[in-house]
Homo-oligomer: A and B are copies of this chain.
Amino acid sequence: MKIKHLAGLSALLPLAACSQKAPQQQPNIIFFLVDDFGWVDSSVQYGDELYPNNLRFNTPNMQRLSERSTVFGNAYACAVSTPTRTSIMTGMNAAHTRITNWTSAVRDTPSDATGGGFWMAEHSGSGDALAGDVLSRPDWNINGISPVPGVPHTQYANSLVQYLKDAGYFTIHVGKAHWASAGTPGVNAYNHGFCVNIAGTMAGMPRDYSGLKNYGNTKERWNDFAVQNLTEYYGTETHLTEALTKEALKTLDYPIKHGQPFYLYLASYATHTPIQPDERFAQKYRDAGMDEGQAAYASLVEGVDVSLGEVLDFLDEKGIADNTVIIFMTDNGGNSENIQKGGIPHTQNKPLREGKGSNYEGGIRVPLMIYYPGKTKAWKCDVPVICEDMFPTILDIAGIRGWKAVQDVDGQSILPLVIGGREGPSPERPLVFHYPHKWKPYDLEDIDFLSAVRVGEWKLVYRIIDGALAVSAGSEEERAAARERALELYNLSADIGEENNLASEYPEKTAELARVLSERLRAWDAVMPVVVATGKPAPLPDEI
């Protein structure tokens, strides 16, 4: 998995081409990726029990899928959108791609928050302002991934989808892409090996969910997040999730007729902000006593559930359900910070701590189910897995062997777990999370500038601001106090809510995980924010 600097894929992958003439052997694959959709935001039980939040959602289709699937209870993504999406495409950890934050719509524009303005206002602010005057932004790959080398501030990589296409798959992108900024090759799904692209752009959110507002394509509402390719539904009540689902099913017509395997990456914009009510479903949540934000969010969730159901029904109708793998996942944890969602901020992912943006569990532990007809062991698997595993897993499902990539792939195939074997990733495999950024113009203590590693039941959280203060604060007392605060240790088996910091109780385990995290970040040449006081990168956790 480690041959670098290859000219391109074509020489290495002369597979399929005209060989794709025998009856279809490879399974179809549908990757149903939901946005900002939390671990407890459905009736599906991913945890050891059903939590109160699970009861607030009506998701019979997710339920239906879960009953036949491998349900992962410890599946992880990154804390925000683009890093997860680019990890899926490259098989690399986000610290390794150096795409650790969401990419701006406009090229060469860091999305790191500064003190001024609100990023949703138009384009995100750029600059070097900081949280608490301690850190300024790192030099990360602000333009996202690139399928060609030499594009500034990008990670050059061979995409998962190109392998699938080269192996004979008809590859379809529908919905949110958000791998790269406009004006770069990475923003274009066709450059990553997709045969069809509907609505995938630089946008990380929809300008509007409503067909009545043309999904943002009106002069008064327009910005870069206006959703493209849905002109059929302009001026109609068709919800964005519904429109994307309809379009996705249309695109399957060709490969089904030709008996060619397809890969459908159906990435809904829901349930990202703006949290606008989907009026097909919202009223019953209002009637159930939810506030407007909660009802709106629950209605967006139900829209996604209906979309999933339509896809499952379509597969049944076409007689291809038995040869179609379904992967259902979310790009990051539920947003617990945005007041549009109603309820009490920072509680929506309970029992998990915090939400989107954070490397506490609420931001990174996500729904994941995989259904492989005839092969899935329908079970609850608690082996920790992570978004970059999707790359080798999907190639494994597609039967693509011996692939080589210009990038070093970090993920491992979790197919063995899906088919219920004993092999597959070790439960003790370290999983790394890295968010060296300030998320919003205001400080968010449990979100900004956090790294983390999970090893088995243990999790270390590194508060980079305190790490920086530990080497730069004025007095030795301040430095010592910061050093004390910088590393937190949790035992997730006993404390899924990360309420009991065991760092002082288990100093050796803390040091061990700090070493593991540091070694990974060092090996990947991960970006770190700059310590304002010294002008140098913030220390790694084993350097404080």
Contacts and interface: CB of A to CB of B under 8 A. Distances in A.
Contacts of A233: 183
A17 B234 CA distance: 32
A251 B18 contact: no
Contact of A17 (B229, B250, B257): B257
Contact of A258 (B20, B106, B251): B20
Interface stretch (A187-195, A316-324, A362-370): A187-195
Interface stretch (A37-45, A216-224, A333-341): A216-224
B182 A214 contact: yes
A188 B18 contact: no
Interface in A152-194: 165-166, 168, 170, 182-185, 187-188, 190-191
A316 B168 CA distance: 24
Contacts of A170: 254
Given A190-B250, A250-B191, A235 B196 contact: no
Interface string A386-408: 00000000000000000000000
A222 B222 CA distance: 8
B229 A229 contact: yes
Interface string A17-55: 110110000000000000000000000000000000000
Contact of A18 (B201, B223, B247, B259): B259
A196 B196 CA distance: 6
Contacts of A196: 195-196
A475 interface: no
A228 interface: yes
Contacts of A487: none
Could you say how many copies of this chain the assembly holds?
Answer: 2
Contacts of A120: none
A508 to B, nearest CB: 50
Contacts of A201: 231
Interface string A220-245: 00111000110111111000000000
Contacts of A17: 257-259
A307 interface: no
Contact of A195 (B185, B202, B254): B254
A136 interface: no
A444 interface: no
A107 interface: yes
A183 B229 contact: no
A202 B222 contact: no
Contacts of A219: 122, 222-223
Given A182-B214, A214-B182, A258-B17, A231 B195 contact: no
A106 B182 contact: no
A358 interface: no
A150 B201 CA distance: 33
Given A235-B183, A250-B191, A168 B229 contact: no
Given A195-B251, A219-B223, A231 B202 contact: yes
Interface in A271-307: none
A267 to B, nearest CB: 16
A260 B258 CA distance: 10
B232 A183 contact: yes
Contacts of A16: 257-258
A184 B232 contact: yes
Contacts of A349: none
A82 interface: no
19 contacts: A16-B258, A18-B258, A20-B258, A21-B21, A107-B235, A166-B257, A183-B234, A183-B235, A184-B232, A185-B232, A187-B231, A188-B231, A188-B232, A190-B247, A191-B250, A195-B253, A195-B254, A219-B223, A229-B229
Given A17-B258, A18-B257, A166-B257, 14 more contacts: A17-B257, A17-B259, A21-B21, A106-B235, A107-B235, A122-B219, A182-B232, A188-B232, A191-B250, A197-B229, A201-B231, A202-B234, A219-B223, A229-B229
